[in-house]
Structures are given as C-alpha cells and as structure tokens.
Amino acid sequence: MGKVTIIDHPLIKHKISLLRDENTGTRDFRILVEEIAMLMGYEALRDLPTELVSVKTPITTADVPMLAGKKLAVVPILRAGLGMVNGILALVPSAKVGHIGLYRDEVTHEPHEYFCKLPENIDERLVILPDPMLATGGSAITAVDFIKQRGCSHIKFMCVIAAPEGLEALQKAHPDIDIYVGSLDEKLNENAYIVPGLGDAGDRIFGTK
C-alpha cells in the first residue's frame, strides 16, 4: 500500500503562503515553486537505496554510502508540473525526464491527453510525478494510468497543494502509490478550483492568462 505524506515543515509552509499571495509575480512564483519542489523532493527521496563505495579521503581510504544507481525518472504533468522539475533535478541531476501533456475540459473538468513521452525502460524506474495542484484528481489519475500501462509500478506523486476531494480520488484509484503534499487545502469550489488555493499554477508560473 502507498502512503500519504503531508509535509509539515515551516520553510514549505512559508513558501506556499507566499505563492498564495496574488501580488507574488511570475518570477518569484516560479522560483518559489522550484524551491518547494526541492524541499519536498528531499523528503520524497528519503528511501533511495545506497551502497558502500570505496573512496580515498585526504586522510585514509573508507567505504562510504553513495546512491545505489537505481534508475530514476521525473515525469511532470504539463504544463504546470514543469515548474517543479528543476527543483527535483537539483537533488538528482542524473535523473531522466519525461513529459505527460494533459488539459482539462472547461465544462466537464475531465482530463484529456495531448502528449506523452517517457524515458526508456520506464518499467524499471522509480517515477516522480510532479504537478503543483491536485484538484479533482483527474489529471493525476490519468497520468498514473499512462505510466502503469507502460509497466511501471514504483510511482511517487508530488503536489504543492491538494484538495481533499482530489487526494481521496487519487488514493482510491491508485492506492499503491506514494503521495507527497505540501498543503492540504479546504475544498474545491463550484469551478473545481482549490480553496483557498493559489489560482491557476500554470498561468502564474508562465505568466499567461
């Protein structure tokens, strides 16, 4: 069974509060999302396996722990998920990067795929799936479906903020994945936006309307 981790850290809380402010501009918003992703990644990657490697220090030779070379992929949900990629890559620069493109129908709020490109041997990799917002859960559920259809079974979903409805839907559809949440918000409104939320993450990251 997967686990849900609401990351209770004062730095993440502070940075998410800055994201919520409607006066936070595109540049600062983008930087904050990247910083939050790196802080969340520190927690999400806590269980990466290590192995002892012989290293010659200035004093002696020692067997020290290093990452065991487990294949890792970061697969953001376009477009807002792109804003979290560099924060994760700052921790694991050798990770491969894929992309899943989804858009939400403005009437039905259902997700539709328009692009999917994944690294080779995705079935052998730990996949980190970032998206700043988990609202209805539809996009996240669809993205996990795509990855699982390609044989991948080790998936961790990361979001900056989540609505209870979306978190419940994702857990119900994919109870085997780990979910990392920066802030669990109050609810969805009638337009399927998270309350209090931070608006449209993609528009605020890229400066679009």
Supply the mean pLDDT for the chain. Answer: 92
62 known member of a binding site: no
Average pLDDT for 182-208: 92
123 known member of a binding site: no
Band of the pLDDT at 209, cuts 50, 70, 90?
confident
Which of 28-37, 66-75, 105-114, 134-143 is predicted with the least confidence, judged by mean pLDDT? 105-114
Band of the pLDDT at 153, cuts 50, 70, 90?
confident
Residue 12 scores a pLDDT above 70: yes
Average pLDDT for 2-10: 93
Span 4-47+72-206: which CATH code? Answer: 3.40.50.2020
- Stated pTM of the model: 0.91
133 known member of a binding site: yes
pLDDT digits (tens, 9 = 90+) for 70-124: 689 999 998 899 999 999 999 999 899 999 997 767 777 677 778 888 998 888 8
3-class secondary structure, 202: helix
Residues classed as catalytic? 104, 108, 200, 203
Average pLDDT for 118-144: 92
Residue 95: predicted pLDDT: 93
Residue 18: predicted pLDDT: 97
Residue 109: predicted pLDDT: 65
Euclidean distance between CA atoms 167 and 162, whole angstroms: 6
Residues 6 or more apart from 84 whose CB is under 8 A from it?
Answer: 33, 34, 36, 37, 76, 130, 131, 132, 158, 160
Euclidean distance between CA atoms 204 and 107, whole angstroms: 22
137 known member of a binding site: yes
More confident residue, 153 or 33: 33
Best CA proximity match to 192, nearest among 135, 110, 143, 137: 135
Residue 192: predicted pLDDT: 87
Residue 166: predicted pLDDT: 96
Euclidean distance between CA atoms 30 and 130, whole angstroms: 14
Band of the pLDDT at 207, cuts 50, 70, 90?
confident
Paired residues of 51 in beta bridges = 66
Structural domain boundaries in the chain? 4-47+72-206
